[in-house]
Amino acid sequence: MSSPIAAYRIEAEPFYQSVGQEVAWFEHAYAHRLPTVLKGPTGCGKTRFIEYMAWKLRKPLITVACNEDMTASDLVGRYLLDAHGTAWHDGPLTTAVREGAICYLDEIVEARQDTTVIIHPLTDARRMLPLDKKGELIHAHADFQLVVSYNPGYQSRAKDMKPSTRQRFVAMQFDYPDAEAEARIVATEADVSPELATRLVDIATRTRALRHRGLEEGASTRMLIHAGTLIRSGVAPRDSCDMTMTHALTDDPDMALALRGLIEATFA
């Protein structure tokens, strides 16, 4: 019988451009199975980083995209009806704890706080997960590690990690890479020329300067990769940037006009 986490192993190396000591720091954190939080803006590479680290460490990765409707049962599991009656089905967190995977809770603050409390026993010396509905206490597999992420610049105080939860993690701060490194990432991921990638990064840098001055967020590296991909497939650069940045970043007509001005100036 195949392992329940065989499908979660990353076989091919994901492309990741290191911008500092983050790879070495995470290796140290994993060596001690320290719960880790990745902090940084949307689309800056947090998810790609953890995928790369799971591949590098040769550990399965179970990812959960958190949302406000997620319940504790969505994480730990529930009883469900099947052909033989009622049977317990492990959730993604429980599977990771039993089998020794890295469990990545993406945008953890989007989940309800009463849901995230269940991770507390996994983030201290106990390293255990109580399944109250099943009457079972699971001690974490030696290879299990909990990793969470969130965007501190985007969240309101109503959606922030509680201090009692935050202090259980070691934290790694992520940001957009410098222009040269970001251009290499865009050129590689979108398979476009370095010159085009540099132009796209220039647009993004200008939009990020407008953060809190009309924009909640500037253009992310992910947006630039999408723009480059569309341009490579034949979409005109201005139209591509409109699709992936202007319309995605704002609904305000004046701000949209300003962004189009940046794009026009870049591709004049």
> pLDDT, tens digit, for every residue of 83-126?
778 999 999 999 999 999 999 999 999 998 778 889 999 999 99
Q: What are phi and psi of 60, to 5 degrees?
A: -65, 150
Tens digit of each residue's pLDDT (9 = 90 or more) over 127-166? 999 999 999 999 999 999 999 999 986 554 456 788 888 8
Instruction: Name the DSSP class of 6.
Output: G
Buried b (16+ CB within 10 A) or exposed e, 31-53: eebbbbbbbbbbbbbbbbbbbbb
Q: How many CB atoms lie within 10 A of CB 107?
A: 20
Which tokens in the block code for residue 198?
């540099």
Give the 3-state secondary structure of residue 241.
helix
Give the 3-state secondary structure of residue 251.
coil
Which tokens in the block code for residue 129?
């997960």
Q: Mean pLDDT, the chain, as a whole number?
A: 93
pLDDT in the model for residue 16: 96
Which tokens in the block code for residue 234?
């034949």
